[in-house]
Every structure is written in C-alpha cells, then in structure tokens.
Structure 1
Amino acid sequence: MANFGRDALKFNYSWTTTEGDSKKVTGYPDNVLLNRSEGYEVLHFINKYMETRNLNSTLSNFHIIENSIKTVVSTNLRSHANIKTWLDNNLK
C-alpha cells in the first residue's frame, strides 16, 4: 500500500476523532461516506486508492488525487464507491 503520512497532505484537515470514528481505518468500504475534512479518512482513502489502482506511489500522484477530492469531485459524491468511480473516470 502507498504509505504517505499526514505531512504529505497539502490541505488542512481535522485530526480529532469523534465517537464512532477511528484513527486507524482498516477497511475500504464502498458504502461508507468519505469525510473530506477528516485527515485520517482522506489519507487512508488516497493511500488505499493508489494501491488498488496500482498507481505509482509518487508524491505527485498523491497530490493530484488529494486536490481532486478536495476541489474537483462534486460534493454530492460522498461514498467511497462514488468517489473512486469519479477518480477512475476522470484521472488519466
């Protein structure tokens, strides 16, 4: 798995977890909503996405995906599945 840490992220995120949240996400559930403001969730999502799509683990690729999630992907796409599909269709 791509193993970028929080220092690789360019945007500001919340790093506090609330009840029911976990700093260690173990799965990659398609039906779960991605909180784009929560650093732990975004970081895990990007690393896992890069791994499952066999993308080169470069900081450039990481930033392209992060920027897309934060500024380009429509906010009405909220589930992991919908965001992955958007990335698959729009990042070449």
Structure 2
Amino acid sequence: MSFKQSEMLYDDGKHYKWVAKADHDNPYYTGGKDRTELNRTEGYEVLYFINHIGGKHWNVVLGTTTYQKIEKMIRYSVPSPIRSHKGIADWIVSNWNNVNY
C-alpha cells in the first residue's frame, strides 16, 4: 500500500503547495538524493519522501496511520536544522518509538 495525497493530514490547501513555481522545481518529483534537502511545504516532495522512507525502513505493509505518523513527525518533530533526506529519515527511524501521536 502506498500513501496517497487524499490521505495526507495537511492537504487542506494551506500547508502544502502542489504547483511548482520555480523553474528548477518539479511537481512530478519522483526521487531525491540522500544529500538533497526536503522542502517540507511542497506536497509532492513530502508525499514521495513518506512513501520512500516507509518502503525503505520497514519491511511490512504500512497502513495509513503509520504514514500519517511519518507526516506528523516531519511537520512537528524533526528539528528544523535537519534538512537532508537522509538526515530526516535517520531522525524519524531513530526517534520512532519516542514520538507518540
């Protein structure tokens, strides 16, 4: 199961942007290097990242609740100085049991 835009908690049009405005931005974002920064307000980047981390770090089929916990962690718990894909993923995995939503 993969996480869908319609299942995201903050897809109310106020938090995430879904239209790329800059030339270097890609609204069909389908990948990211571990060293690149995750833009936490661009919905397509966050959605891809959530699906990617879920598939990479857990060897079970994840449910919507688990994906939504990852989304909440990205929004509320991951320290703002941590910006790279790898840094955010590592933080989420390391702190999974310490964060309760």
Q: TM-score, normalised by structure 2?
A: 0.82
Alignment gaps of 5+ in structure 2: none
Match of 2:92 in 1: 87
Amino acid corresponding to residue 13 of structure 1 in structure 2: Y
Match of 1:26 in 2: 30
2:66 maps to 1:61 = yes
- Answer whether contact 2:28 2:44 (CA < 8 A) is retained: yes
Match of 1:37 in 2: 41
User: CA 1:44–1:74 in 2, change beyond 3 Å: closer, same or farther?
Assistant: same
Match of 1:13 in 2: 16
- Answer whether contact 2:29 2:48 (CA < 8 A) is retained: yes
| Aligned equivalents of 2:18, 2:28: Cα separation in 1 | 12
- Count the aligned residue pairs: 91
Alignment gaps of 5+ in structure 1: none
Q: CA RMSD in A?
A: 1.3
Divergent runs of 4+, >4 A: none
Q: TM-score, normalised by structure 1?
A: 0.90
| Aligned equivalents of 2:23, 2:70: Cα separation in 1 | 28
Larger radius of gyration: 2
Amino acid corresponding to residue 20 of structure 1 in structure 2: H
- Answer whether contact 2:31 2:48 (CA < 8 A) is retained: no
- Answer whether contact 2:17 2:41 (CA < 8 A) is retained: yes
Q: CA deviation at 1:56?
A: 3.0
Identity %: 33
